[in-house]
Amino acid sequence: MALATFPSPNSFVLELKEVSFTIRKDGEEVPLVDRVSIRVPRGHFMAIVGPSGCGKTTLLKTIAGLNPESSGGLFWDTRNLSEDGDFSPSEIGYVPQFSIAYDPLTVDESVETATRLRVRCASTEELDHRIDRVLEETGLSPISDRQVKVLSGGQKRRLGLAMELVSDPKLLLCDEVTSGLDPRSEREIVRLLHDLSRKDGRIVLSVTHSLAHLELYDSILVLHEGRLAFHGPPEQLTHYFSVSDTEEVYPRLATQPSERWHISWQKHRESYQKMMDKNRALLISSGDLHLPAAAPPPVALVGGEATPAVEPAADDHLRLPGVFSQFSTLLSRRWRIFFRDRGQVFLQLAIIVCFPILVTIFSDKASLNIRRYSDTHQTDVKAQVLEEQSVRSDQAKVGSAVSGIIMFQVVLLSLMGSNNSAREIAGERPIYEKEKFGGLRPSAYLASKVAFLACLVIGQSLWMAFFVNFFGAFRGDFIQHAGFLLLINASMTAICLAISSLMRTAEQASLLSIYLVGFQLPLSGAVLALPVSVEAFTRPFISAYWAWSGSVESLQTQVRDAVKSVIDTDLSLQNACLYTLGAHIAVALIATWAGVRRPQWD
């Protein structure tokens, strides 16, 4: 039996064949990336440059799979990514221009969280070793205990790289990671990327608007209006464009249409490819570029046919952690961020303390007794009329007060729910999308949000119920009333969480959530009865009505009758209130699930 091996690891490449990405604008197809063909070998460091709006980031996102190519093919080590599946999370790293770390966390905690979310480590020792190695590679070890919010721009870029390197990606994509940096920091980042490309045969593609430090790159790819205008060694850039300085390249591009530059490049590409191959051979022979010799498992030839040999055990450290592991990591991180955000902690404490006090301030009239009709028949008509007036007066006072206090509690808990979750997902959407790209499961993310918010909801609702009951006893079934307070808070929290998951910005989510809470009171019918036609349409969607109505139904008979004597709105049975609020929560969570699954990469 003879053995045949796979191709040498030196042939491991990224290849684009006539790749295009188009969008529809004003009824026409507009190509943002137009027929780009390149071939990038292992251990290669390439810059993607060009004027603003030329399609650099769009090309990078197309390679990453964030933008599905409209035509052409992308290949990774001869694997067709369009047909045979996209990159696995461990194969690729993407460093966006924005920060992908939470300000309250330290550098070490950020890298540790990224590792726990992306890599299944067999032991704590392996986890610590991976974290220490990445911090050392990126030069972050001396500042590992600093919080992200105090880092400089260059240090944040290094942290972004460190969080991607935890899974040892073979393809590292960097989007404008040097923008906004001072010249020294920019050179340090470019040098770091250069060194990373020389390790383990990693391909590093860096989008940059800057034409500084080009000598550190193996090749320069120039885009003009989405078309490939040049791809060759950096020392040939000025020669190709017939300019004396790299700063003159962009003005030179503007002198001709992009299609002419593309046609010109097609004529010269072979000669420049030979130059790059020659430079690569020199790097390998001199030892400046080290490529690992490891190869995939051999294939046995049995009877002239290729048969896979026994597969080796899967690399555990490259496998994604389980759902529960990701869930526990996210939940732990969320509580850590919460307690380090003093403003948020003080706000929650103020809400929990002040809102129940506001309710009790207005609860005096709700505790008054309601006089009953005398058991003896009144022979004096005047006395009978006065008795009826007294009873009705008591009913009006107590009924209005009790109804108002219940609705006040409901509205305040609706505000708590809005504050709990309106910004919860929208406020961290860029980070979540990046982590989802790296292998985070939406189910683990949503479960961590539900678990965190459930703790807030339970604490807020039960404290409101117990505090108000202690200083002014609820005149009915306290357990049922507390249950409805819990349900209105949970319902509004879930609804605002759904809004947060569907909106693109935290400001949009907050504004819509505030409007939603603001309409709860007038549309509930608890203050003024709505027209029957309007009420029939709006009532099923107003959570405040169902919590208020269910709480009123749990009152003592005499108090409930007093409330009904002063309102015009029909009340619903408790079971209907329970089922409706439960349906609100369920539908909101389903909408949230759809929102967290839907890609919203900016």
What average pLDDT does the segment 42-68 reach? 93
What average pLDDT does the segment 439-458 reach? 97
What average pLDDT does the segment 544-560 reach? 83
Residue 81 three-state SS: coil
What average pLDDT does the segment 307-317 reach? 40
Query: What is the β-pairing status of strands 28-40 and 14-25?
Result: antiparallel
Structure tokens, 286: 């001199």
What average pLDDT does the segment 33-49 reach? 94
Structure tokens, 583: 């349906």
Cα 151 off chain centre by: 22
CA distance 522 to 162: 52
* Average pLDDT for the chain: 85
Q: What is the DSSP letter of 25?
A: E
> Residue 524 — pLDDT band, cuts 50, 70, 90?
confident
Taking a C-beta distance cutoff of 8 angstroms, is the pair 475, 366 a contact?
yes
pLDDT at 563 over 80: no
Query: Please, where are the H alpha helices in 422-441?
Result: 429-437
Taking a C-beta distance cutoff of 8 angstroms, is the pair 223, 229 a contact?
yes
pLDDT at 468 over 90: no
Burial of residue 496 (number of CB atoms within 10 Å: 0-12, 13-18, 19+): buried
Among the residue ranges 77-86, 106-115, 592-601, the one predicted with the least confidence is 77-86
Structure tokens, 289: 């570029």
CA distance 14 to 75: 6
Burial of residue 81 (number of CB atoms within 10 Å: 0-12, 13-18, 19+): middle
Taking a C-beta distance cutoff of 8 angstroms, is the pair 220, 234 a contact?
yes
What average pLDDT does the segment 360-385 reach? 60
- Written as one letter, the residue type at 106 is T
What order do you get walking across the sheet with 299-302 strand by strand?
Answer: 2-4, 299-302, 305-308
pLDDT at 241 over 60: yes
The reported pLDDT for the residue numbered 336 is 97
What average pLDDT does the segment 501-522 reach? 90
Torsion angle defined by CA atoms of residues 85, 90, 95 and 96, in that order, rounded to the nearest 10 degrees: 40
Please give the residue that has the higher pLDDT: either 498 or 209: 498
Right CATH for 2-91+169-309 from 2.40.37.10, 2.40.340.10, 3.30.1780.10, 3.40.50.300: 3.40.50.300
Taking a C-beta distance cutoff of 8 angstroms, is the pair 156, 181 a contact?
no
CA distance 455 to 447: 13
Which whole-number Å values give the CA distances from 47 to 99, 221, 283, in the listed order? Answer: 21, 6, 18
Per-residue pLDDT of 248-292, as tens digits, reads 999 999 999 999 999 999 999 999 999 988 888 888 888 777 776
Structure tokens, 374: 């005398």
Which whole-number Å values give the CA distances from 539 to 440, 493, 496, in the listed order? Answer: 38, 19, 18
CA distance 480 to 411: 18
Closest to 226 in 3D by CA, of 25, 30, 74, 15: 30
The reported pLDDT for the residue numbered 322 is 94
CA distance 457 to 490: 6
- Written as one letter, the residue type at 36 is V
Cα 359 off chain centre by: 36
pTM attached to this predicted model: 0.87
The reported pLDDT for the residue numbered 302 is 41
pLDDT at 387 over 60: no
SS (H, E, C) 214-255: HHHCCEEEEEECCEEEEEECHHHHHHHHCCCCHHHHHHHHCC
pLDDT at 347 over 70: yes
Per-residue pLDDT of 195-206, as tens digits, reads 999 888 899 999
CA distance 482 to 395: 24
CA distance 127 to 117: 11
Domain ranges of the chain: 2-91+169-309, 323-366+381-597
CA distance 434 to 10: 30
Per-residue pLDDT of 286-308, as tens digits, reads 877 777 664 444 444 444 444 44
CA distance 516 to 521: 10
Residue 369 three-state SS: coil
Taking a C-beta distance cutoff of 8 angstroms, is the pair 412, 358 a contact?
yes
Highest mean pLDDT among 297-311, 411-425, 470-484: 411-425
